[in-house]
Amino acid sequence: MHKNLKTLFWVSLLGVLAVALSGCLFTPSEGGIISMGRPYEVVNLSQHGGYNDPDLVKLTDGKVGNNEVWDGPYAGFGATDGTQPSYLIIDLGAAKTVSSVSIHCYHGKWGIYAPEKIYTALSNDKVTWTDPVYHNVTEEHWNSELADKNPDGAWYSMALNGSGRYVKVGFEDFGWAWASEITVIQ
């Protein structure tokens, strides 16, 4: 009986290890997240001093923030020039099929609100982009009652159904954008 428990323990441990490593060793299947760990650049955005991302991978590391914006994995971005577009560009490394892009933004508490408009587009050369797909954040997302119901922020998703190497995620009508994760889905 003791030998069977020991064998069961080792088989279980190997199974858990195989599942944990499968995300590291295999490329995503259709419908998988293809932005995990991918670098990005910021354009016309300044990073908040205490909530910056000097390595430019925080928004693609798989860590989603909670209701403690001050302690969570958030990066804060503000427009450096309000007359110019403000956006992030994720480099997928090669042209890939993209079905959707989602961004997790903090909102509502301490006067922090999601940008009024969030958009995404695709490109193979960072010069020519597809038409942007917008998610207009309604005023209800800025309502403090919603922040109380969903204090961990919210996901804002945009369906793309295209392909490209570069994914642009832009912000309009905002002061500061507090984001913890961007997922690009194949």
pLDDT tens, residue by residue, 74-84: 888 888 887 88
C-alpha 9/C-alpha 43 separation (Å) is 51
Picking from 78, 73, 100, the residue whose alpha carbon sits closest to that of residue 88 is 78
Q: Whose structure tokens read 């577009």?
A: 85
pLDDT at residue number 137: 73
Could you give the domains of the chain? 29-185 (2.60.120.1190)
C-alpha 173/C-alpha 120 separation (Å) is 15
Question: Which residues of the chain are modeled with pLDDT < 50?
Answer: 5, 7-29
pLDDT tens digit string along 87-98?
A: 999 999 999 999
The answer to whether 35 and 92 have CB atoms below 8 angstroms apart is yes
pLDDT at residue number 2: 52
- How many helices and strands in the chain, by DSSP H and E? 2, 8
Strand partners of residue 112: none
pLDDT at residue number 41: 95
pLDDT at residue number 12: 43
pLDDT at residue number 70: 61
Q: Whose structure tokens read 């858990």?
A: 16
Q: How many other CB atoms are found less than 10 A from the CB of residue 91?
A: 16
pLDDT at residue number 24: 38
C-alpha 122/C-alpha 34 separation (Å) is 14
SS3 assignment, position 88: strand
pLDDT at residue number 52: 76
Burial code (b: 16+ CB inside 10 Å, e: under 16) for 165-182 equals bbbbbbbbebebbbbbbb
pTM for the complete prediction? 0.76
The two tokens of residue 140 are 């209800």
C-alpha 70/C-alpha 150 separation (Å) is 17
